[in-house]
């Protein structure tokens, strides 16, 4: 067994313990009440960085939640890896659907259950443990910089400007992120594309106050009915989005890419079972993989208004609301798409209601060449860790900060995801495979070695 493998085996239990320490902190970034937990979590990340042999680790305050920034000793003639992750998590609700409490990590069937297990605490921590391993063996072959933020789940409002202000500090040769998934159990992947996002909120107002639906109904606008009519008109029967200009900048899929993806043998029926719906559906003319990886979407995330309590209340509401998100693909622009959707919603609205559309947050899609040299290094590292050849994939989720990093710092990115699709991120019973957690630490250590060995970094 190699020295690395031996060290990992000897420290496996300790590494799991450290992951649990992070998972016990309810670092939910979207709620004010968890502010102290955010700081506590940032402090725990700093503690673990120190333990990994990275003494220069500190908490950088921001107008929002703090950023943890750390550096190993920066030696000349070595490539520098900038590792990004996020210590914030999604809210835990609905609480009663968790089999064990979300912030009391519990191990069952080789999986660790807790909010943040897969997204992203159990993923970013693998790089700290890889650094710890290589440092302990005296074999760290690269310079490391860590940037672990606490606001990814709310669109990274503080990190985005922070990167631009600290471009010199963050200077690196490769960006490394683990916040995505593998193609399947035992099947690592090389990720070369992520979708972007445009998130909107719509308010529709009819009368000044709620009204009796018998006295007024039929002669006054009902904002919920109006909102539903508008939303329904945003897509046609082929699930094609009808907003004018929406697809103008969508980069068409190449025949080559479609062919590569066909070879992945994606099983729609298995996917349907995972989802639990009676059937799959989506834009006509595209496969499930294409719909998720290379086509934009428009989805209602929530809709509310009027009476939703027990029993019945005969009322015409004054207002109705919806949250709408669009997943974007290269070369769509989030602000441009938000504007187009806003204009179409307003155009569709009846003159009997007032419509307000606001832009929450957004982010650019990201795409690189699947043949980039750093992906070759990742290819070897993943192959060594999982004993399987990685497949080239894109994914449907978004990490908008990837584009900011790559554009501002002009660095290539390696996205080494160790999550699995059924790990319930953003949902009850989130978990992470411990096998992938340990393989991930090994993969990260190998990646550091492989990047150090790339010809372009042999200075
Ligand atoms: N880790 C996810 C993104 C992800 C998951 C990418 C799985 C690919 C596969 C990340 O934490 C996340 O949820 N991002 C948000 C974006 C954000 C702007 C709120 C998302 O995709 O909804
Ligand atoms: Zn994440």
Looking at residue 276, what is its pLDDT?
A: 97
Token output for 159: 């990190």
Length of the chain: 459
Domains 3-194+365-457 and 196-250+296-363 share a fold: no
**Minimum-distance ligand 1 atom for the alpha carbon of 398:** 21
Task: Tell me, using a 6 A CB cutoff, whether residue 368 lines ligand 1.
Answer: no
The full set of domain ranges for the chain reads: 3-194+365-457, 196-250+296-363
CATH 3.30.70.360 fits 196-250+296-363, yes or no: yes
- State pTM to two decimals: 0.94
Task: Tell me, using a 6 A CB cutoff, whether residue 71 lines ligand 1.
Answer: no
Burial code (b: 16+ CB inside 10 Å, e: under 16) for 165-185 equals ebeeebebbbbbbbbbbbbbe
**Minimum-distance ligand 1 atom for the alpha carbon of 361:** 18
CATH number for the 3-194+365-457 domain, one of 3.40.50.10540, 2.40.50.100, 3.30.2130.10, 3.40.630.10? Answer: 3.40.630.10
CA angle, corner 125, sides to 41 and 379, nearest 5? 155
Task: Tell me, using a 6 A CB cutoff, whether residue 153 lines ligand 1.
Answer: yes
Looking at residue 1, what is its pLDDT?
A: 78
Q: pLDDT averaged over consecutive 10-residue blocks of the chain (459 residues)?
A: 95 98 97 96 98 97 98 96 98 97 98 98 98 98 98 95 98 98 97 98 98 98 98 98 98 96 96 97 98 98 97 97 98 98 98 97 95 96 98 96 97 98 97 98 98 88
Looking at residue 458, what is its pLDDT?
A: 74
CA-closest residue to ligand 1 atom 7? 180
Task: Tell me, using a 6 A CB cutoff, whether residue 180 lines ligand 1.
Answer: yes
90, 152, 292, 415: residue to mutate for ligand 1 pocket, most atoms within 8 A of CB: 152
Looking at residue 459, what is its pLDDT?
A: 60
């Amino acid at each position: 067994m190699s020295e690395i493998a031996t060290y990992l085996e000897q420290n496996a239990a300790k590494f799991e313990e450290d992951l649990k320490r992070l998972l016990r902190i309810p670092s939910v970034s979207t709620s004010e009440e968890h502010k102290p937990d955010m700081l506590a979590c940032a402090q725990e990340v700093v503690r673990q960085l120190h333990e990994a042999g990275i003494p220069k680790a500190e908490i950088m305050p921001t107008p929002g939640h703090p950023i943890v920034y750390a550096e190993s000793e920066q030696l000349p003639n070595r490539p520098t890896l900038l590792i990004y992750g996020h210590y914030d998590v999604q809210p835990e609700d609905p609480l009663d659907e968790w089999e064990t409490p979300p912030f009391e990590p519990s191990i069952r069937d080789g999986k660790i259950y807790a909010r943040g297990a897969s997204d992203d605490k159990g993923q970013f921590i693998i790089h700290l443990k890889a650094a710890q391993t290589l440092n302990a063996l005296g074999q760290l072959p690269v310079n490391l910089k860590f940037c672990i933020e606490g606001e990814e789940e709310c669109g990274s409002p503080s990190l985005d400007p922070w990167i631009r202000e600290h471009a010199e500090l963050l200077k690196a040769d490769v960006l490394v992120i683990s916040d995505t998934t593998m193609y399947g159990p035992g099947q690592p992947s090389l990720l070369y594309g992520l979708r972007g996002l445009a998130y909107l909120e719509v308010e529709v107002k009819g009368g000044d106050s709620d009204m009796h639906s018998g006295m007024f109904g039929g002669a006054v606008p009902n904002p919920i009915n109006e909102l539903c009519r508008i939303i329904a008109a945003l897509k046609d029967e082929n699930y094609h989005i009808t907003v004018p200009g929406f697809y103008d900048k969508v980069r068409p899929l190449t025949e080559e890419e479609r062919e590569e993806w066909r070879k992945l043998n994606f099983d729609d029926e298995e996917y349907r079972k995972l989802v639990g719906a009676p059937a799959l559906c989506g834009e006509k003319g595209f496969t499930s993989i294409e719909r998720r990886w290379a086509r934009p979407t428009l989805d209602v995330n929530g809709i509310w208004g009027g009476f939703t309590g027990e029993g019945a209340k005969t009322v015409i509401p004054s207002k109705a609301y919806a949250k709408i998100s669009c997943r974007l693909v290269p070369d769509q622009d989030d602000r441009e798409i938000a504007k187009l959707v806003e204009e179409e919603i307003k155009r569709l609205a009846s003159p009997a209601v007032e419509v307000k559309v606001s832009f929450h947050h957004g982010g650019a899609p990201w795409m690189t060449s699947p043949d980039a040299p750093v992906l070759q290094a990742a290819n070897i590292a993943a192959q060594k860790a999982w004993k399987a050849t990685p497949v080239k994939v894109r994914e449907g989720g978004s990490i908008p900060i990837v584009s900011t990093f790559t554009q501002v710092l002009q660095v290539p990115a390696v996205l080494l995801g160790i999550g699995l699709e059924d790990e319930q991120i953003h949902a009850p019973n989130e978990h992470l495979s411990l096998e992938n957690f340990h393989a991930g630490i090994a993969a990260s250590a190998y990646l550091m070695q492989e990047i150090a060995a790339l010809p372009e970094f042999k200075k």
